[in-house]
Structure formats: C-alpha cells, structure tokens
Amino acid sequence: MTTPTPTRPHETAPVIVAVEGLCYSGKSTLVRHLAPRTDAIIAPEYTDLVPLPPWPPTDHTQVSAALRQFLDLERHRASQVRTRIATRTHATASRRGHVVLLDRSPLTLIAHEYGMQALGVPADPSGAATLYADAAATGQILTPTAYLYLSIPDPVTDIRRTARGPVASHLDDPAARARIDQTCRTWLRLLPPRRQLTLDGTMPPSLLATAAAAFIRSLAGPPVPSWRLLPEAGVPA
C-alpha cells in the first residue's frame, strides 16, 4: 500500500481538480491551456500512460482485474504528483498550495462501468465506486477537491470525431455515452455548488481556461462526498 505524503505544518494542501467529460469534449486541450495559468501539475489521461484493457470482458473476474489495473495506475499518478509537489516545495522553499489537474479521475472509471452495464456486458459499478473510494480514504490515490465537466452537443462530437479519428467502439456507442454522461452529471449534483463547474466545450480553449482558472481560485467549502454515494444516487441499473 502506498503511504500518503503528509501535509507539513502550515503547508496548504494541494487543490486537486478533476477535468471530466465524454470523449472529444476537449479535456486534454483544456488541461494544456489551464496548467500555465494556474502553475498546475498535470496527471496525464489514462490512455497516455497505458493501453486500455481488452474489451469486452467475458466475466466479472476480468472486470475486477481491469478495475485493479486502473487502481494501480491511480496509485502511480498519485505518487508522481506527490513527488513533483515535494520537489517544487524543496526547490522554492515555499509552502503555498499547489494546483493539480487530473485529466480524468476515478469518476471516469466508475461511470465507465455504468456505460458498460448499459451495453449488457459484465460490469461492476458499485464495486468500482467502493474500490476507488476505499483507496482514496486511505490516501493511496488522489481525491479531487473539485470537478470541471466539459459538455458538447452531438454535432460537435461528430465533427471532432472526424478530425481526430474514432476512439474504441464501446466508448463511442451512443447508449454507453449517454449512461456515462448521466452518471457524471448525477455525481456533480451531489457536490457542493462551489466544487463543480460544467463548461461549454465548444468555447475557445483560451476562454475555457479563463473561466476554469477563476473557478479554481475561488474554491472553498466542505470536503466532497465519497464515490460510494453514486450507486445510491439514482443512476439507473
């Protein structure tokens, strides 16, 4: 188990912002534009680090193995971020708070299970929520302070898909996309208003980054709830 790096006395805890949204919504583009404005540390998107597990899973054993593979990846991202924070703190002798941008977070992984459930393949939404919530509670992985959610209409999705090229077919299935989006929006409704912001992903990246930076500077409020609440929050089975 990874031991979390303790916050030093008088050192401000990092502000950890998850950037979420469906494929083609512009998450990575926003992260690239936002990071310089907030002097943020970036945790790269999962597919920038490892290939996706084989799909579809044939049984729940394979589902569990894939979820644990991503848990290991979350632990790796947390370790890398904490090392970079420690290096920056040592180099500058500053105890100011740091901003961390997560290009996707465990919310993506939990929502994915709901999306796969909509396709009728083996999936475990409740198990995913429990797995990542437990890891966050013990400091193994990073817990977002707040969420930025990018939303785009289907016609813009089609244009971007043509320009970029398709993603894995199961992630592009309309039923899966609809359920993933529904799950993420359900989660956002559980959060305090000052801990979530939905942005129009069709806006120019510079304007999106300006709005997101202002949101990050204003962050305040109680801790966000546990991902364990998602299975009880009314997402259709």
Task: Give the pLDDT confidence score for residue 9 in this predicted structure.
Answer: 41
Residue matched to tokens 């919310």: 107
pLDDT for 26-45, tens place per residue?
999 999 999 999 999 999 99
In 3D, which of 223, 148, 135 has the Cα closest to residue 184?
148
Residue 146's H or E segment, with its range, is strand 146-151
DSSP secondary structure letters along 178-197: HHHHHHHHHHHHHS-GGGEE
Task: Give the pLDDT confidence score for residue 11 in this predicted structure.
Answer: 54
Q: In this structure, which amino acid lies at residue 118?
A: A
pLDDT for 86-97, tens place per residue?
999 877 755 567
- Using CA atoms, how far apart are residues 65 and 142, in angstroms rounded to an integer? 21
pLDDT for 166-219, tens place per residue?
899 999 999 999 999 999 999 999 999 899 999 999 999 999 999 999 999 998
- Using CA atoms, how far apart are residues 89 and 84, in angstroms rounded to an integer? 8
E strands of 72-151, at which residues? 99-103, 146-151
Task: Give the pLDDT confidence score for residue 148 in this predicted structure.
Answer: 98
Assess if residue 5 is contained within a domain: no
Assess if residue 137 is contained within a domain: yes
Assess if residue 75 is contained within a domain: yes
Is residue 1 predicted with pLDDT exceeding 50? no
Q: Where is average pLDDT lowest: 14-18, 143-147, 225-229?
A: 225-229
Assess if residue 1 is contained within a domain: no
Is residue 5 predicted with pLDDT exceeding 80? no
Is residue 102 predicted with pLDDT exceeding 90? yes
**What values do phi and psi take at 116, rounded to 5?**
-70, -35
Task: Give the pLDDT confidence score for residue 90 in this predicted structure.
Answer: 79
Domain count for the chain, please give it.
Answer: 1
Assess if residue 135 is contained within a domain: yes
What is the domain range of residue 223? Answer: 15-232
Is residue 127 predicted with pLDDT exceeding 80? yes
Assess if residue 46 is contained within a domain: yes
Task: Give the pLDDT confidence score for residue 234 in this predicted structure.
Answer: 73
pLDDT for 158-168, tens place per residue?
999 999 988 99
CATH code at position 106: 3.40.50.300
Assess if residue 82 is contained within a domain: yes
Assess if residue 6 is contained within a domain: no
Q: In this structure, which amino acid lies at residue 204?
A: P
- Chain-centroid distance of CA 26 in Å reads 13
